[in-house]
A = this chain, B = another copy of it.
Amino acid sequence: MAGASTTPRAGILVTGTEVLTGIISDRNGPWVSVRLRELGVDAEMIEIVGDRPEDLLGALERMRAAGVSLIVTSGGLGPTADDLTADVVGRFCGREMVLDEPLAGRIEAIVKPMMARWPNADPEAMLRANRKQAVIPAGATVLEPVGTAPGLVVAPADGHVGAGAPTVVVLPGPPRELQPMWQTAVATDAFSAAIAGATEYRREIVRLYGLPEAEIAATLEAAAAGGLSLEALEITTCLRRGEIEIATRYEPSAQAQYDAMLAFVRERHGRMLFSADGSTIDEQVAALLTGEGVAGGVLGAGGGAGGGAAGTLAVAESCTAGLLAARLTDRPGASGYFLGGGVVYSNEAKTLLAGVPESLIASVGAVSVEVAEALAEGVAGRLSADYGIGITGIAGPGGGSEDKPVGLVCISVYSARDGRRITRSPRMPGGRADIRDRSVTVALHLLRRLLLGGADAAAAGADPLAG
């Protein structure tokens, strides 16, 4: 690929025995990787190591040997004795450690008011522990603390290891500290120098729903066989939460190739391609409910769109028990269209909160198409919402039968405006968490279709939402 060899490459080093041993999961590596790509810098690797100094130093040396020009570390800047990153990075860059007195003063000014929250703590021990955080490699650029830990940008000392040695950006572990400090780091001269020569890339994401990953492989094969030139496109496909994502990176000169590839995929996969602009199903549903429509997206079959669908939503969830509501309200501003709903785990809750008749549950069972429809319609009525969603299913591992196996989930979306509804009862693969998570994704896709004007009467045999 033209220009690839000039792209600066980076290593991301996540430190922490608690991360390495699986006690907590890392969110920083992927986040920094995305930020680097936006700057035209490829992450060569993300490596997670423990807290011992030899682990850190070993990883830094492996990254230097792999030829990266920038290393970003996260973690190991806390007040406890196992927080050693600054010290090890200083050694790696050939710089002595010095106490930065003004910085120590600024950290103390941050810590002192916090101590009032912990009346039983020993203030001297806390200040001593926090003072350690002001010992930094000589000549490093300090990134002011967002919590109590300062970050650092450390270039190799003159004459140390040679001109090719990487610059190291040292950031704290908590994402809410790391993320704002990243912006500060990027603005420093030392950082700019380390990524000089980054190539400009474009990056596009296309999302499809309702087909297997192998078929995308076949489509890309057919595109190449049909004479389309894909060489200048770096294409990655992946299956996520039941959706397929095609991420493509390319230099601006390859725009025509990208457009041709996208047209080919759109031609072959029609309405299964629900997002051509990188928008997520969550974003599309929110845009439809607020009346903003689906900007730049693909509206799919069923016509209708935009402002006409705007309205309010209520949900009644049994097996997903709040996951759909929680996902809908991840987004700030959800209160503009989301009213609430019922977590209807018990049969009584289905009746009391969504008005499902007891007799219906007794005759067809709580996990049934009929109850899903009654939940959707009932909760919309109860909260006077324009749209309602009902979910009832068997998340397992227990509770399944031959007739209604684990993974069977009945999902219904309903429009109180005109009585349209779409109902499906797919059998979800995977364990309890997968089944619950996938059910929420299917509900969002059904809602999108309803908001775009679809209804069950129009559904065809080869329905991508059927399976």
Do A325 and B332 touch (CB < 8 A)? no
Chain B's closest residue to A46 (CB) is B48
Residues of B near A19 (CB, < 8 A) are: 30
Min C-beta distance of A459 to chain B, whole Å = 14
Residues of B near A247 (CB, < 8 A) are: 17-18, 21, 23
Contact of A125 among B80, B122, B218, B467 (CB under 8 A): B218
Indicate if A458 sits at the interface (CB-CB under 8 A): no
Please judge, given known A-B contacts A25-B27, A320-B326, whether A130 and B342 are in contact too, CB under 8 Å. no
Question: Which of A43, A346, A384, A396 is packed against the most chain B CB atoms within 10 Å?
Answer: A346
Residues of B near A51 (CB, < 8 A) are: 236
Do B59 and A213 touch (CB < 8 A)? no
Please judge, given known A-B contacts A48-B46, A321-B325, A343-B315, whether A214 and B22 are in contact too, CB under 8 Å. no
Indicate if A417 sits at the interface (CB-CB under 8 A): no
Min C-beta distance of A4 to chain B, whole Å = 10
Contact of A352 among B62, B212, B382 (CB under 8 A): B382
Query: Number of A residues contacting the other chain (C-beta, 8 Å)?
Result: 118
Do B81 and A217 touch (CB < 8 A)? yes
Residues of B near A334 (CB, < 8 A) are: 321, 345
9 contacts between A and B (CB under 8 A): A44-B55, A78-B213, A79-B213, A80-B220, A121-B215, A121-B218, A322-B322, A330-B432, A340-B346
Do B340 and A344 touch (CB < 8 A)? yes
- Which residues in window 333-368 of A have CB below 8 A to B? 333-335, 338-346, 348-349, 352-353
Contact of A321 among B218, B340, B395 (CB under 8 A): B340
Inter-chain CA distance A395–B222, complex, in Å, is 48
Do A326 and B322 touch (CB < 8 A)? yes
Min C-beta distance of A380 to chain B, whole Å = 12
Do B55 and A43 touch (CB < 8 A)? no
Query: A121-B215, A334-B345 given. 12 additional CB < 8 A pairs?
Result: A18-B240, A23-B236, A23-B247, A24-B238, A58-B66, A121-B214, A125-B218, A317-B322, A322-B323, A322-B325, A325-B343, A340-B346
Residues of B near A299 (CB, < 8 A) are: none
Indicate if A160 sits at the interface (CB-CB under 8 A): no
Question: Which of A65, A66, A80, A338 is packed against the most chain B CB atoms within 10 Å?
Answer: A80
The stretch of A111-119, A252-260, A300-308 in contact with B is: A111-119
Residues of B near A315 (CB, < 8 A) are: 343
Do B126 and A215 touch (CB < 8 A)? yes
Inter-chain CA distance A432–B326, complex, in Å, is 12
Contact of A121 among B47, B59, B211 (CB under 8 A): B211
Do A341 and B349 touch (CB < 8 A)? yes
Please judge, given known A-B contacts A18-B247, A24-B238, whether A80 and B349 are in contact too, CB under 8 Å. no
Do A245 and B23 touch (CB < 8 A)? yes
Inter-chain CA distance A49–B68, complex, in Å, is 13
Residues of B near A382 (CB, < 8 A) are: 352-353
Min C-beta distance of A9 to chain B, whole Å = 11
Do A20 and B34 touch (CB < 8 A)? no
Question: Which of A44, A58, A125, A343 is packed against the most chain B CB atoms within 10 Å?
Answer: A343
Contact of A343 among B125, B342, B384 (CB under 8 A): B342
Indicate if A45 sits at the interface (CB-CB under 8 A): yes
Min C-beta distance of A355 to chain B, whole Å = 11
Indicate if A39 sits at the interface (CB-CB under 8 A): no
Residues of B near A23 (CB, < 8 A) are: 205, 236, 238, 240, 245, 247
CB-CB contacts of A102-129 with B at 8 A, as 1s and 0s?
A: 0000000000001001111110011001
3 A-B pairs with least C-beta separation: A322-B322, A322-B325, A22-B30
- Which residues in window 200-238 of A have CB below 8 A to B? 205, 211-218, 220-222, 235-238
